[in-house]
Structure 1
């Protein structure tokens, strides 16, 4: 049985009526070949364009190197003030090769120096030195990168090196980059602020001291993450911004200039903040309805939502939102408290349906003997064993 459920959402429904005349949010388009706009609090995808096609991520792949380093620090395996000596091999391989931190052979630097060299200066050399320090070699560290990608569900990513230098088969997807960015925000709240640092000077190499992220200082609330560029991949960015407690993550790839990268990342974020809002609908354990019980010691059983339900929606989606619950009516006793007995579904245009399990709020035993006969007789005459269904709170 499917029941339209609006009682709990009466206030929302009344508000929706007043919003129906408001113009729909603009249909977004972007010249980026790949793009994802993600609401961090709900995981809702607000915009996407070819999000699952793998492409060369260039320096955006350094986010995975940083993730492994942050993880090691969080777990106590490495400290920010640990000292690292730059090996001759790392210097030979990456001296002035692409973006650099200008490390010299036998330099002694801290892990914090190397992380800022990666995050702020995009140093290919810093990635190699950190990888050697953590894993003993770049090759072993690459194996770690690929293992972590599998663990994080980044199914469209494959790493061939530690810094995103062009290599056959070194690829990521926009969706994987968005999810990785969100992990960096959520998993390492004490370390993530490094991504907001706009300047870092290693020794006196003033030719490379500023963060290349075009969002920092230009888009209100921006605090990360990483740019990328090669001839093959074009210009890309994985970025994030937080306003009034609401965080959005944006990924763009395949743009033809740094100006386009700056413009499109800001435009997508602005689109997300202006046209979408966060709507908490239910809290875990809240009663959303009551179901009739067949041959049970109680006439009805409360249906509780299993998990919090909050959705990020545009005004248009909110105006056309449809909430329904589905369960077998009546539910046959015995019923165990906490057992799944139904599903709540939220549908809206242009989005996949969002569902949550409904579970029994009480244990209800099955009646026997004469009680079973009486309950069946009352149900046939009156329904719900002759008892009135409680009103939802």
Structure 2
């Protein structure tokens, strides 16, 4: 679950001024998280389950990014639309107008998914990469469990109506966005935040309500069905500070769009930040057990800030947290600890820390030396 910080909450705490909170009202479910500090700036019904509609495609994109990282999927691979997929999806909802038997690269499919919410591209990617839609959906749900989306389930790769089998929460979507951007920043920047795309001579626009309207906005994904209403998972970055927002179950696209823009602008305007560490900056050390060395440097996974209401005087308390000692071997860049940031008057939040270098398992001599050193700690 995203750490809950009551800097601003619909239920109490340091609420936004009435003239600023009113535009949020169009989204019954709303969440705003500062990823650089882990702090929740605004939360309304963030644990309430809802149908994400096409926001589901963010999980499909994230799963594809993970497979690329593992060398199991390549942007240059091509998949063709099966006869079954064509009959089911060639005329259903938002699409790229893919034709049966037409080879399309993974890169093009992902651009269609991220930019124009292509239902057909999602199915072609699922069938091609996993052998079947069912296999792909199983992989989506396994990945959701792995990253901590404990209150979500996926029944399709594209979010098409499935009698409620696909559901999520705002908190879980914030986790998904955080993991996608943190693990795959280059892929995120390449595929998301585009104005649209043209394929087979058909130009289509991206319906993202904040990119091009909110400074620093770069995605992520809208969603709509008659059952789900209008929703949006969005992100923007300014001066190294990245916000993630969710607006869901809005009755009209204007309600969703107004709430999304207002949340983002308020998040940047109403809060100050204090830069603590740059991406990759050294934060501290963690003890290592049975390693070639007894400690491992800890570095920031991304820029780390402390966030607080504008004008407030704060001195954040910083504590490194991990289950230790850590067990060797450790990979460089592996997430092994968290930095807890405590701001007076609010619960602490946490951001991830990575191993700054690899630590191999100790040989016999190193184990002996470590044992002697450990006696004097």
Give the TM-score range, shorter chain.
0.7 to 0.9
Task: Confirm or deny: 8 A CA contact 1:36 1:45 kept in the other structure.
Answer: yes
Partner of 1:204: 201
Partner of 1:176: 172
State yes or no: 1:346 paired with 2:342.
yes
Task: Confirm or deny: 8 A CA contact 1:213 1:224 kept in the other structure.
Answer: yes
Q: How far does residue 319 in structure 1 lie from its aligned partner after superposition?
A: 3.9
In the TM superposition, 1:170-319 aligns within 5 A as: 170-193=166-189, 194-206=191-203, 209-280=204-275, 284-285=283-284, 310-315=305-310, 318-319=312-313
Distance 1:204 1:354 in 2: 48
Of residues 15, 28, 32 in structure 2, which corresponds to 1:37? 32
Distance 2:137 2:168 in 1: 14
The structure-2 alpha-carbon separation of the partners of 1:255 and 1:321, relative to structure 1 and needing over 3 Å to count, comes to: farther
Q: Where does structure 2 lack aligned partners over 5 or more consecutive residues?
A: 1-13, 286-297, 320-324, 327-338, 352-372
Aligned residues: 301
**SS of structure 2 residue aligned to 1:84:** strand
Normalised TM-score (structure 2): 0.72
Distance 2:253 2:147 in 1: 29
Task: Confirm or deny: 8 A CA contact 2:35 2:242 kept in the other structure.
Answer: yes
**SS of structure 1 residue aligned to 2:46:** coil
In the TM superposition, 1:325-340 aligns within 5 A as: none
**SS of structure 2 residue aligned to 1:156:** coil
Distance 2:112 2:153 in 1: 23
User: Which is greater in Rg?
Assistant: 1
Of residues 54, 61, 76 in structure 2, which corresponds to 1:66? 61
The structure-2 alpha-carbon separation of the partners of 1:36 and 1:355, relative to structure 1 and needing over 3 Å to count, comes to: closer
Superimposed CA distance per residue, residues 293-344 of structure 1 (whole angstroms, 9 cap, x where no aligned partner): xxxxxxxxxxxxx99884211136x44778699xxxxxxxxxxx99xxxx99
Q: How far does residue 197 in structure 1 lie from its aligned partner after superposition?
A: 1.2
The structure-2 alpha-carbon separation of the partners of 1:72 and 1:285, relative to structure 1 and needing over 3 Å to count, comes to: closer
The structure-2 alpha-carbon separation of the partners of 1:158 and 1:355, relative to structure 1 and needing over 3 Å to count, comes to: closer
Task: Confirm or deny: 8 A CA contact 1:145 1:159 kept in the other structure.
Answer: yes
Normalised TM-score (structure 1): 0.70
Distance 1:41 1:91 in 2: 43
Runs of 4+ in 1 over 6 A off after TM superposition: 306-309, 362-366
The structure-2 alpha-carbon separation of the partners of 1:100 and 1:35, relative to structure 1 and needing over 3 Å to count, comes to: same
The structure-2 alpha-carbon separation of the partners of 1:354 and 1:102, relative to structure 1 and needing over 3 Å to count, comes to: closer
Q: CA RMSD in A?
A: 3.1
Q: How far does residue 355 in structure 1 lie from its aligned partner after superposition?
A: 8.3
The structure-2 alpha-carbon separation of the partners of 1:250 and 1:87, relative to structure 1 and needing over 3 Å to count, comes to: same
Q: How far does residue 199 in structure 1 lie from its aligned partner after superposition?
A: 2.0
Q: How far does residue 220 in structure 1 lie from its aligned partner after superposition?
A: 1.4
Of residues 139, 145, 153 in structure 2, which corresponds to 1:150? 145
Distance 2:315 2:247 in 1: 29
Task: Confirm or deny: 8 A CA contact 2:116 2:205 kept in the other structure.
Answer: yes
Q: How far does residue 347 in structure 1 lie from its aligned partner after superposition?
A: 4.7
Q: How far does residue 93 in structure 1 lie from its aligned partner after superposition?
A: 1.4
Superimposed CA distance per residue, residues 271-304 of structure 1 (whole angstroms, 9 cap, x where no aligned partner): 1101112224697349xxxxxxxxxxxxxxxxxx
